[in-house]
Homo-oligomer: A and B are copies of this chain.
Amino acid sequence: MAILVMKFGGTSVADLNCIRNAAQKVKREVDAGWQVAVIVSAMSGETNKLVGYVREVSALYDAREYDAVVASGEQVTSGLMALTLQSLGVNARSWQGWQMPLKTDAAHGSARIQEIDTTAMLAKFDEGFDVAVCAGFQGVSPDNRIATLGRGGSDTSAVAIAAALEADRCDIYTDVDGVYTTDPRVEPEARKIDRIAFEEMLELASQGAKVLQTRSVELAMRYKVPLQVRSSFSDAPGTIVCDEEEIVESNVVTGVAFSRDEAKITLQNVADRPGVAAAIFGPLAEANVNVDMIVQNISDDGRTDMTFTVHSDDFDRAQATMEAAKDEVGFEGLVADRDVAKVSVVGIGMRSHTGVAQRMFAALSEEGVNIQVITTSEIKVSVLVQRKYMELAVRCLHTAFDLSDSGQASA
């Protein structure tokens, strides 16, 4: 029999009514002949409440205890979902991470999945269970302790379980009805995308689109698990995330992503000598700071300016790390700027179409938006702009690449 994975996020299981609504969607798929693994998040608000408790108790908390506390939210939903399905006449039972088991590494709080043993779950399907309700976000560490996968980790649970069960599809139910060309709150002309390639979704997610967790898309791409992002609150088809071969007509640009969580640091008058980059980025890596964009200005006199961006959460740590390494790096001044944002255009069509960057820069220039830093990948161009221009930049790029027009004349 064919297996379908259905994942319901926090807003989709916010209360008992929402759980019942989600359970009815599951029942419909069971009635249509699927065996279903349902992956559930905590009821919305629960995880924040539990994290709040932990933080109040201790700022430097033991991640293993954090995991024991926080994973309880998904445990509750899994039991309630199984009960609700049973009340609809569906043969369901709950599975905690340690029961499957879903084995992770020991990196508590943001553990990585190592192996999912589906033997017991498949045996239960064979015994006549129609639905396995799995607590998302959690697994069990090598030390037999509860380990969580990091915030938003239920998406990752869903994709990993879909891969392990060799599911036909993994449907991610959420509070939006699909992946949009950009955030409709910024550009009302944004349009729902019918199909998008894994690579594009990955770039959009990592450049700031919040609809799917980046790790879950990576995993779906690696194991070729087709995803569908769809709404818990309607029956409209959502967005299929799939292999690019399955997309008939690919666009030059598929979407525009943006992120406000950026901060820029410029080290002035750095000695332009071999090893200076290592002297800067080595300590940052050790301090666990993720450096995103890097620009080194042209040097005339043996000295140079080095500019890089970090996530705004890492900003204080990055600045402190650089001040501590000042003598070793040999820079004269540090200029920090938190008043920045990153805007990116993403599309697999860029591989075969030239001129995307040029068209992007021209469109921004026409609106008077100054570009501070540029990075590119095979299917993405990102620019750093002053924060106040972010919305304007998103809208003008959305128009420049004809994204609101469903015909997509630019492709």
**B-facing residues in A81-118 (Cβ within 8 Å):** 82-84, 86-87, 93-94, 96, 98-99
Asked if A50 is at the interface (CB within 8 A of a chain B CB), the reply is yes
Is there an interface contact between A58 and B86, defined as CB atoms closer than 8 Å? yes
List B contacts of A98 (CB < 8 A).
98
Chain B residue, CB-CB nearest to A55: B83
Chain B residue, CB-CB nearest to A62: B86
**Residues A57 and B87 in contact in the complex (CB < 8 Å), given A69-B79, A75-B72:** yes
Is there an interface contact between A54 and B80, defined as CB atoms closer than 8 Å? yes
Taking a contact as CB atoms closer than 8 A, the residue among B53, B78, B93, B144 that contacts A80 in the complex is B53
Asked if A145 is at the interface (CB within 8 A of a chain B CB), the reply is yes
List B contacts of A76 (CB < 8 A).
50, 53, 69, 72
With A and B bound together, what is the CA distance between A230 and B73 in angstroms?
A: 32
List B contacts of A50 (CB < 8 A).
76
**Residues A58 and B83 in contact in the complex (CB < 8 Å), given A16-B53, A94-B65:** yes
List B contacts of A144 (CB < 8 A).
99, 120
Distance in Å: Cβ of A373 to nearest Cβ of chain B: 41
Taking a contact as CB atoms closer than 8 A, the residue among B19, B54, B75 that contacts A75 in the complex is B75
Chain B residue, CB-CB nearest to A20: B57
Number of interface residues of A (CB under 8 A): 38
With A and B bound together, what is the CA distance between A87 and B68 in angstroms?
A: 17
Taking a contact as CB atoms closer than 8 A, the residue among B58, B72, B83 that contacts A87 in the complex is B58
**Residues A94 and B75 in contact in the complex (CB < 8 Å), given A80-B54, A83-B61:** no
Is there an interface contact between B62 and A83, defined as CB atoms closer than 8 Å? yes
Is there an interface contact between B80 and A69, defined as CB atoms closer than 8 Å? yes
Is there an interface contact between A80 and B94, defined as CB atoms closer than 8 Å? no
**Residues A58 and B79 in contact in the complex (CB < 8 Å), given A16-B53, A64-B93, A144-B99:** no
Asked if A366 is at the interface (CB within 8 A of a chain B CB), the reply is no
List B contacts of A65 (CB < 8 A).
79-80, 82-83, 86, 93-94
With A and B bound together, what is the CA distance between A120 and B143 in angstroms?
A: 11
Asked if A56 is at the interface (CB within 8 A of a chain B CB), the reply is yes
With A and B bound together, what is the CA distance between A98 and B71 in angstroms?
A: 15
With A and B bound together, what is the CA distance between A149 and B71 in angstroms?
A: 22
0/1 string, A12-41, CB within 8 A of B gives 1 = 000010010000000000000000000000
Q: What would 16 more interface pairs be, CB under 8 Å, given A72-B75, A99-B144?
A: A57-B87, A58-B84, A58-B86, A61-B86, A62-B83, A64-B93, A65-B82, A65-B83, A65-B93, A65-B94, A66-B79, A68-B78, A68-B96, A69-B76, A72-B76, A96-B146
